[in-house]
Amino acid sequence: MRKIFTSFPLTSTFELSSDDAHHVMVVLRHKVGDSIAVTDSTGTTYDCIITQIENHAVFLTPAHKISDAVISNGKIILAAGLLKNDRFEWIVQKAVELGVDRIIPVQMNHCVVKLNETRQQDKIKRWQKIALEAAKQCGRNDVPEITAVFDISKLVKEYRDVRFVVPYEQETAPFHDICQQVRTGDIVICIGPEGGFDKNEIALLREKIPWCRTVSLGTRILRAETAAIAAISIIMYERGFN
């Protein structure tokens, strides 16, 4: 069931955004009296009834609660190196579908893509829109945040108290050795770009993050986006996909 999200708690009749109103009227062809699932800013989902359609505006009234906000085992944060073309967009979409709570784009030394401030803002808006659409499509109760673009130093500074899992092509320790340690609590999954991690970046992570584990995803060389989805899937499996 495709959802609609609001940026505020639902307490009374409200108006849909223009994009959602267009989707409801033109794509789904809903009419007055039809019901739609809407998740509000608290993560609570309501069955809402279309009470009015006027010009291009759609108004809904909450009828009853469908579900409360989901209690998670801890946040999964994906910090991924910027990728060229649409590969980062693909990571955003699939990571949202799998259950990631936050996505941090990271400008790393070996990133082919270099974004100035204007392009960063445009990309973040684009990625956030993709995250919203993916959340609607997969029926999530929340929309993951796409943060500003970080560099490794800022990532370490902001998240040094969170546990890091770092798939690294030069590591031999298998991922499954730490699986039991990542079943609960907040986790940062840190993924390198097309050119892989710079050795200095790995050294910084190991030095500055108290709980940092570099792990191997096997003997095959994986694309960055494949490594991201593999790592997320492993941790989500350990958490029962909750």
In tens digits, what is the pLDDT along the chain, a chain of 242 residues? 578 999 999 999 999 999 899 989 998 899 999 999 999 999 999 999 999 999 889 999 999 999 888 878 899 999 999 999 899 999 999 999 999 999 999 999 999 999 998 999 999 999 999 999 999 999 888 999 999 999 999 999 999 999 999 999 999 999 999 999 999 999 999 999 998 999 999 999 999 999 999 999 999 999 999 999 999 999 999 999 87
Architecture of domain 76-238: 3-Layer(aba) Sandwich (3.40)
Within 10 A of 134 (CB to CB), how many other CB atoms are there?
Answer: 19
Vertex 95 angle, CA 89 and 101, to 5°: 115
Count CA atoms within 13 Å of residue 84 on its CB side: 7
Task: Determine the pLDDT at residue 166.
Answer: 98
Task: Determine the pLDDT at residue 241.
Answer: 86
Task: Determine the pLDDT at residue 72.
Answer: 80
Task: Determine the pLDDT at residue 55.
Answer: 87
pTM of the model: 0.89
Type of residue found at 42: T
Task: Determine the pLDDT at residue 71.
Answer: 79
Task: Determine the pLDDT at residue 1.
Answer: 56
CATH classification of 4-67, choosing from 2.40.240.20, 3.90.700.10, 3.40.50.720, 3.90.230.10? 2.40.240.20
Parts of the chain belonging to CATH 2.40.240.20 = 4-67
Three-state SS for 88-152 is HHHHHHHHHHHCCCEEEEEECCCCCCCCCHHHHHHHHHHHHHHHHHHHHHHCCCCCCEECCCEEH
Q: Token pair for residue 15?
A: 């108006």
